[in-house]
A and B are shown apart, each in its own frame.
Chain A
Amino acid sequence: MKKILLMGNPNVGKSAIFARLTGTKVMVSNYPGTTVEFKKGVMCLDGDCTTAFEVIDVPGVYSLEPISKAEEVAVDMLAEGDVIINVVDATNLERNLYLTLQLMEREIPMIIALNLWDETKHKGVEIDHEKLAELLGIKVVPTVGVSGEGIKELVSSLPDTAVKIKPLTDEERWVKIGKIIRETQKVTHHHHTFLERLGDLSVNPLTGIPFAAIVLAFTFGMIRLIGEGLITYAFDPLFELYTPFVYLISQYLGQGGFLHDILIGTLIDGRINYVESMGLITTGLYVPIAMVLPYIIPFYFFLSLLEDSGYLPRLAVLIDNVMHKMGLHGLAIVPLFLGLGCNVPGALATRVLETKRQRFIATTLMAICVPCAAQSAMIFGLVGRYGITGIGIVFLTLLVTMFILGFLLKTIFPGVSPEIFLEIPPYRIPYWSGLFKKVWMRIRAFIIEAVPMVLFGVLIVNILYILGIIVFIGNLMSPIVTGILGLPEAAIGALIIGFLRKDVAVGMLLPLNLTMSESIIASVVLAMYFPCIATFIIMLKELGPLDMLKSTLIMIFSALFVGGLLNLLL
C-alpha cells in the first residue's frame, strides 16, 4: 500500500486532517506537540477499498533538522513516504514555507493543504492560493481540517510525480520565500479581538497568575461538583437497580464458599457492601463505574477544553521559571498535566522535551507525584471522609515533594537545561463536536482498558488472600509498613495490588477504617512508591532499563522517606 505522510509545522491541524482522511479517531488539541508518535490509518478512495493509501500522521516539525525526540521521529519517517501532504498554516504562511521548500527538495510527490483557511479572514490575511501554486509548481488546496472543508478536493488532487527543484542554502530559501510572500499574500491591519486580548492578559504575569488560579480553582471545583452529582443522581441509583440481582446470585451461591468469595466477596453484617465486599461483580464493578467514572467524565471534559482552547502553552510560559528549578522548562507542564488524567499518555508526552535528561526527570516526577484521575477519585473517597483538609494535605504533599525532588534530580543528574522556545497559538473556541469526540475517546479507553484491569486486580486480590500469600508478604514487610509508615498490617494488601491498579488499591483501604493520618499516609505512599503496571511498561520503553531502574529506586526511596516523615509529623 502506498504511504501518504502528513507533514507540517506543529499545531497546524495535521491530526484534524488525518481524522478527516481516515476516519481514525485521533487526539486533536491546540498546543504544539500533541502528536508525539506517528499514527497510521487507512484511507479508501472507493467504496470497496481497492484503491487505498496508508496515511501517517507525523509529529510537527519546523524544519528537517530536528530538535526534540518527537521531531526526530518525524524526519525518520520521510524515507518511507510515497506522497506528502504538506499541511501549512495559512495564517503563518511565511514561516511554514521554509519546511515546504525543504520537503520539496526531497523530490517526493507533494501537495499543499493550506489549512486554517477560515482563520485568515479575521486575521486580516489574504492569500492568492492559485498564484502560490503557480510559484511553487505544486497543487495548493485551501482546507479547514476541523470542519472538513477542502478535504475532498485534496484527496482527488493527490500527485503522482515530484517536482524537481535544486537544493538551496538557508539564505537562498528565505530569499525565495520572501519573493513568494510578496506576490501572494496581503496582510491588512485588523483590530485585536476579545480572544486575542484575553490571550495576552493570560500570559502577562500580573494578570496571568490570578487568571491561572481562577481557571484551576474553577476547573477542580466543577470536577468535584459534577462528579458528586453524577454519583448521587446517576450512578448510585443505577447500582440500586442492580442490587437485587446480586443478592439473587449470592443466595444461589449459598452466601459463602470459594465462588461466592470471588464473585460477591465477603458479606458485611450479612449484607453486600459495594465498597468493602471485594467481589468481582460487587466492588470490582462499583469502584471503576460508580466511584471513578463519575470523576473521569468531567475531568476529561475540562482537560480537553483546556487543551483545545490553547491555554496550556500560556500556562507553560507562566510556570517556566519554576520548572527550570527542576531542570525542566515550561513545556513540561504538558506531560505533568496529561498525567493527571492517566500517567500513560503523560509518559509519552515527555517526548515534547528536547533532552534525555529532561525526559527522565519529567517522567520520574510524574510517576511519583502526579496521581491519575482514577487514583485521585479514590483518594477523594478515602480521605474525603475526613473533609477537605485531608485531601488538601495529600495533594500539597505530592506538590511539595515534586519541587524538592525535582530540585534534587536536577542537582544529582547534571546536564544542560534547554530553554523554552514555544509558539503560543491563539485562543480558539473549541470545535465542539471534535471536543466531545475526544472526551468520548478518553472515556471509552477508560472503560475498555481500565475496567477489565480493575476486575483483574480484584480477582488477584481474592486469589492472593485465599492462598495466604498476602498474609505471608505482609509478615515479611510489616517492619517497614507498620514501623516506618505507621500503617496497619492489613494495608499491605493494598500496596501489593497498587503495582497493578492504583484505584483498586486505594479502594482496598476503605474497609480498614483508617484514621485520617493513616489515610493520608497510605494515599501518598500508594501514589509515590511505584507506577501502575501500564505506566511501568510505557516508562520502561521510553526510558530504557537502566534509567527505569534508577527511576524505580527513586520512587521507592521517596515513598518511604515522605511516608515516614508524614508518620512522624501527623
Chain B
Amino acid sequence: MTGERLLTEFNPGEVGRVKKITGGHGIQHNIRSMGIREGKILRVMTRQPLRGPIVIEVDGMRIAIGRGMAKKIILGDV
C-alpha cells in the first residue's frame, strides 16, 4: 500500500496519515474543526454496508463520516 488513497478506499483496521483535504471551503472547515487535519493519523474502525458512513478513530476520538465527505479526505502512508 503506497501512494495516496481516498478514505473511502480504506478497509477496517487500516491506518493512514491525512495528506490533503479537498472540497469547498465550508466542508474543509467542518472537517478540520472536528479534528481531522493534515498530518493526523486516522484508523478506519468500521464501514457501514451499502455506502453507509465510515467510522474512524483520530486522536482517540471516534467520528462517523458520510461517504461523500470521506471522499474529500486523502490519506497517504503513515
Chain A interface residues toward B at CB < 8 A = 62-63, 65, 67, 91-92, 94-95, 98-99, 123, 125, 170, 174, 187, 199-200, 203-205, 208, 313, 316-318, 320-321, 329-330, 418-424, 426
**A418, B61: Cα distance in complex, Å:** 22
Which of B35, B62, B66 is within 8 Å of A199, CB to CB? B62
**A170, B29: Cα distance in complex, Å:** 9
B28 CB to closest chain A CB (Å) equals 9
Residues of B within 8 A of A63 (CB): 29, 33
- Asked if A329 and B66 make an inter-chain contact with CB atoms under 8 angstroms apart, the answer reads yes
Residues of A within 8 A of B37 (CB): 174
Nearest first, the 5 A-B pairs at minimum CB distance are A419-B66, A95-B35, A424-B62, A63-B33, A62-B33
- Asked if B34 and A320 make an inter-chain contact with CB atoms under 8 angstroms apart, the answer reads no
How would residues 24 to 40 of chain B score, 1 for a CB under 8 Å from any chain A CB and 0 otherwise? 00100111111101000
Residues of B within 8 A of A205 (CB): 46, 48-49, 52
Which of B31, B32, B52, B59 is within 8 Å of A92, CB to CB? B59
- Asked if A423 and B34 make an inter-chain contact with CB atoms under 8 angstroms apart, the answer reads yes
Which of B26, B50, B61, B68 is within 8 Å of A95, CB to CB? B61
**A211, B61: Cα distance in complex, Å:** 22
A123 CB to closest chain B CB (Å) equals 6
- Asked if B64 and A320 make an inter-chain contact with CB atoms under 8 angstroms apart, the answer reads yes
- The residue of chain B having its C-beta at the shortest distance from the C-beta of A190 within the complex is B60
Which of A187, A320, A418 is within 8 Å of B48, CB to CB? A320
Chain B interface residues toward A at CB < 8 A = 12, 26, 29-35, 37, 45-46, 48-53, 55, 59-69
Residues of A within 8 A of B45 (CB): 200, 203-204
B11 CB to closest chain A CB (Å) equals 13
A424 in contact with B63 given A94-B35, A95-B33, A320-B53 (CB within 8 Å): yes
Residues of B within 8 A of A423 (CB): 34, 61-64
**A94, B63: Cα distance in complex, Å:** 15
- The residue of chain B having its C-beta at the shortest distance from the C-beta of A67 within the complex is B30
Q: List 30 A-B contacts (CB under 8 A).
A: A62-B33, A67-B26, A92-B35, A92-B60, A94-B59, A95-B33, A95-B34, A98-B33, A123-B60, A174-B37, A199-B62, A200-B46, A205-B46, A205-B48, A205-B52, A208-B46, A313-B64, A317-B53, A320-B48, A329-B66, A330-B53, A418-B66, A419-B53, A419-B68, A420-B65, A421-B31, A421-B65, A423-B61, A423-B64, A424-B62
B46 CB to closest chain A CB (Å) equals 5
**A559, B58: Cα distance in complex, Å:** 46
- Asked if A420 and B64 make an inter-chain contact with CB atoms under 8 angstroms apart, the answer reads yes
A568 CB to closest chain B CB (Å) equals 34
- Asked if A317 and B48 make an inter-chain contact with CB atoms under 8 angstroms apart, the answer reads yes
Which of B60, B61, B66 is within 8 Å of A421, CB to CB? B66
